[in-house]
Amino acid sequence: MKTLVFRMAATFRLLLPAVSVAMALLPVLALIQPAAGEEAPPVTAIDILLEPDATMLKHAAANNERLRKVYPAGFALDEAHSPHITLLQCFVRTADLDKVYDAAGKVLADAGVASMKLEAFKYYYAPADEKTGVAGICAKPTDAIVKLQADIITAVKPFTVETATVSAFSAPHPSPDLDQALIDYVSTFDPKMSGKNFNPHVSTGVAPKDYIEKMMAEPFDNFTFSPAGAAVYQLGPFGAAARKLKQWEFK
């Protein structure tokens, strides 16, 4: 009996340091892990973007009008679908939005965006569903805009989260499948749409894929334009820039 007691005492002495460490970590673990039933901090889906000048706006409006004639259910270019060139789509903690604005604003101020010249050179589209696509006008990815995107991504990275629910957007789609597709798109924007994969473009509307493909085969008259400003928007359905949160104007 005495031997058993001695062995138990010896075992406890061996375990004591580990138990002490675990007890010391309990307050830290409580901070890291939400309590049962506690909601995660609110998250916002954002688009950090460039706002094009009057030249691009005119071309985008003309193309939008054309697309809506063949597909009236498509979106109009308005306050809920503002023409823009996306630099980054991501999820950020809502409480950190002011920090995101500060970080992005410093990058934009140092980049000389007002003097940036971009060349529009073709139409393109991204599939929306089996039958339709979101059309747009593409700009050539210059070294300057590729670097600007990379710097924006680096600056806001500390405030991003990997994914979110549809509540991060301004409104859901009628279809949950479209909601999930958009969540996946935003979650993987960097790296799938950054760096060598960056395709700077202005989305102009929705139309049947076969119509857009015919439009893409038509001759395209290249034109030059510049950014007139930059902004942060909350993303809405179809990844549209739906609600303006912050704006910078270039002079």
* pLDDT (tens digit per residue) in 71-126: 999 999 988 788 999 999 999 999 999 999 999 999 999 998 989 999 999 999 99
CATH number of this structure's domain 43-249: 3.90.1140.10
Find tokens 């688009």 and name the residue: 47
| pLDDT at residue number 172 | 86
| pLDDT at residue number 39 | 63
- For the chain, give every domain's residue range: 1-38, 43-249
| pLDDT at residue number 66 | 98
| pLDDT at residue number 238 | 74
pLDDT along the chain (251 residues), means of 10: 40 38 37 47 95 97 97 89 94 97 96 93 91 96 97 98 93 84 94 96 96 98 97 88 91 71
